[in-house]
A and B are shown apart, each in its own frame.
Chain A
Amino acid sequence: MSDLHDRVRRALLHDNAREARQHGTQPIRERVPIALKAYPELQSQVRRSKERALDALPRLLEQAEARLVSRGFHVYRAADGAKARDYILSHMPPSSLVIKSKSNLAKEIHLPDALRAAGHRVIETDLGDHINQLMGRQSGHVLMPAIGVDRAEIHKTFQDQFDEPDLGPAPEDLVASARRHLRPLLEEAGVGISGANAVTATGEIVLMENEGNIRAVTSLPAVHFVVVAVTKVVETLEDALRVVQAASLYGIGQDLGNYCTVLAGPGRDIGPDVHVVLVDDGRLAALEDEPEPFYCINCGSCLNVCPVYAELGEAYGGERLGGIGIMQTFLLNGEDAANQDGLDLCLGCQRCVPACPVAIDTPGVTNRLKARRRTVPTGPLRHRFLKLVHSRRDLMWTRWAFRTAAALGIASRWHRRGQKPEDFVPVLTAAPPLPAGRVYTGSDPIRGSVWIFPGCVMDAWYGGVHQDTIRVLNANGYTVRVPEQKFCCGALDAHAGAAPRGAPDWDTFPGTDPIIMDSAGCGAFLTQHPNPVSQRVEDLAAFLARVGFRPPRQPVPGTPLVYHNPCHLAYAQNIVDQPRQLLATAGYHLVDVPAGEACCGSAGTYNLDFPELAWTLARRKAGDLSRSGAALACTANPGCLMQIRAGLESLGSSMQLEHLATLLARAYAGGAS
């Protein structure tokens, strides 16, 4: 694992690459939600079509092969990468000039290397891939391969390698130069190699692009090889066109790529002889195990929203990038490869799930895969922390240690240092844990009664937030009951890839009253994982918004406030507007914050395993919040509280960060803190 940690540390040093990535992905993040408004059904349609296809894949593959052959294609099913390479090499004239369009699979099976070793010349024709080829670097994104490359570096490379010393630095100049340089190669090449976005059981190949290189690769040479994973097969042409449309919409916010080509046979009068090479390489077997990662349609949307990818770029992954790629690597190449590629790097923020055109639950599946590992490469600190959480007595003891650390100023000193996992010192509330079995009666007129979910860390360290939650619920006419038994919801173990310890005693919540959560992480876990009470679990903000929030008699007088939406509220539970509405009703004046959607990096116990990355995210988040000009910030999750408070202290910011319940309770108390 040390290679992985070194890689993370090195990647965090490359600010230029991070900026370039940000520059490439930010406009896409802005465009996609707008473009998607016209296609509300697309995500569920694509999901269903991929589920159907992979469910019946062996049968569909046979149909596809038969239909492709009847349409005049040569078809070869390769059991593995070596067989695919051999097939292609044996059907190529010697010393060919090969033009290739983007294909992640070709890279996976090391096809370009094999072609070069056999004496062929391979030219990457996608501009991003071509830049990487000239610079000898790896692809940094599935759709935008040269995303992390600075324009000045591209300029210099083109000047040198295209022998155009007077070439201008504008993107238009660089694109025109690449066009001039590549055009003769397109015309000369004898062999074209492309991937495919989809292959249909009715015998069509569907390809999408913006540059026109795929249309050239698939039409100009004498021979064309389509190298495609078996998992790209779908039932019908409708399904395939939905796949490419979803890939454009989610991948770049474009309603259809500029060129979509449907091949239902080689050109009758002109065009190459076409070989379709369907590569299995372990996929059919892996589908039996865990199909979800193979629903992926390679649009790169998950990378564009991933906070880990934003920081690390191609260092998040190996041959396959990001959480989605690492899951595939786990299933195809085993757990050691996946560990090394960074299986543990996923924050579990779930932002990629709604952003995925197939709604792939990358964090959920990643946790399942982590739990299956023979050996758990988690750090000793995380292990100790989890042990602590499961020992109530020890957890209570840490209350005093951490409060003393804060009182003596040790916590803020360590936060200012902010490098190691030990430097994260929780800043706790003063109130003790909730008394088990206690009933807090609501104020008149009574509207009903609810349970509060105490949890583990939340109860031991943030009892004051629980008290505030109870005050707010009471003020809204709800009697709040504390259960007899308190336990961890299980999220911390799941994030860490550890097996759950013991079954929680759900009987401690008798009846049908809602169980109110003031921890976004626990709420997300309990609503998403099967348990007898999942239907009754409801977040505080969602609950108050649903039943109708009683405005405080004396709202706080327009205090400026920034709100940080916890990932597990926003992406995992789709609770976005309710907390803001409650805060506004309570009198706070909400101020916009740059990159408000970004994760703070807490993510359960992530900061113990990847402290450098967690500190980077914490400082970034704290910096964004501070720059808003407000003196007060709000969030709704203990992890975010801990993490962002540490980030604020490390920057020396005087901004106060409080839980939503605390700020609402303050409003009920007449604005007093």
Chain B
Amino acid sequence: MTPPGWQAFERKGFTVRHIQSPVDFLKAWNAILGSHRGPVAVLNDPIAAAWLDRYENICWIPDEGGRAEILRSQVGFTGASFALADTGTVVLAEDSGYARMVSNMVACHVALVPENRLVANWEGVLERFGVEHARQPRILSFISGPSQTADIQGQLVRGMHGPVAVEAWIVPAVDGPLNLT
């Protein structure tokens, strides 16, 4: 069941999974690999690393692969710096540039969102950065659902250039830096 505060994500087309234990994670992992067969790229950020360090057959970005491996991948995992309750948005803050690529060039993007990173709206994100960060991250990506287009007679179709599927996995609280990489 979707915890309170996260309903907007489902409205926006995210598959929301509530991960409370490694077993939950494994079930979710199996589900995702069942529906998206192909290479998996994982951004080596503190959130994704904590959950995926024991998993095999994944390509750690940037340690084990870069642009070519990302472009080949079907599934991309990243952590998320924030989630916005009002618009159903995950926010990836980074300096490196890899989070943007992993989250955009795969067929399915999974964002691991620590439950303590849910804020009301984008104003909340700017506030947190103002308080906790001396310097703003180079790239902020606000992602509010799968890639979509309405360019053919106004009809909404998912999966134009970016991921056809997006998932938000709510994981237990993670403290630490807001920047992913």
Contacts and interface: CB of A to CB of B under 8 A. Distances in A.
Interface of A: 20, 23-28, 38, 71, 125-128, 131, 144-147, 149-151, 154, 171-172, 174-176, 178-179, 182-183, 186-187, 204, 210-213, 215-216, 219-220, 237-238, 241, 245, 252, 255-271
Contact of B154 (A27, A38, A145, A213): A27
Contact of A258 (B67, B138, B145): B145
Interface in B14-66: 62, 66
Nearest to A211: B160
A263 B139 contact: yes
Contacts of A131: 151-152
17 contacts: A131-B152, A154-B152, A179-B161, A216-B104, A219-B100, A256-B84, A257-B144, A259-B142, A264-B138, A265-B95, A265-B138, A265-B139, A267-B94, A267-B97, A268-B138, A269-B96, A270-B101
Contacts of A71: 138
A23 B142 contact: no
Nearest to B86: A255
Contacts of B148: 210-211, 258
Given A186-B161, A219-B97, A237-B126, A267 B154 contact: no
A258 B87 CA distance: 10
Contacts of B126: 237-238, 241
Nearest to B67: A270
Nearest to A255: B87
B160 A175 contact: yes
B139 A264 contact: yes
B95 A215 contact: no
Contacts of B100: 215, 219, 261, 267, 271
Given A211-B147, A256-B144, A270-B97, A151 B104 contact: no
Interface in B92-142: 94-98, 100-101, 104-105, 122-123, 126, 136-142
Contacts of B149: 127-128, 175, 210-211
B76 interface: no
A241 B144 CA distance: 14
B98 A270 contact: yes
B168 interface: no
A151 B142 contact: no
Contacts, number: 173
Nearest to A131: B151
B162 interface: yes
A137 to B, nearest CB: 13
A259 B154 contact: no
Interface residues of B, number: 48
Contact of A261 (B89, B142, B152): B142
A212 B89 contact: no
Contacts of B174: none
B177 interface: no
A23 B154 contact: yes
B133 to A, nearest CB: 11
Nearest to B101: A219
A267 B138 contact: yes
A245 B123 CA distance: 12
Contacts of A252: 150
A15 to B, nearest CB: 15
A478 B93 CA distance: 66
Contacts of A147: 154
Contacts of B97: 219, 266-271
B122 A219 contact: no
Given A255-B87, A264-B140, A211 B153 contact: no
A266 B96 CA distance: 9
B162 A174 contact: no
B98 to A, nearest CB: 6
B62 A151 contact: no
A24 B154 contact: yes
B101 A175 contact: no
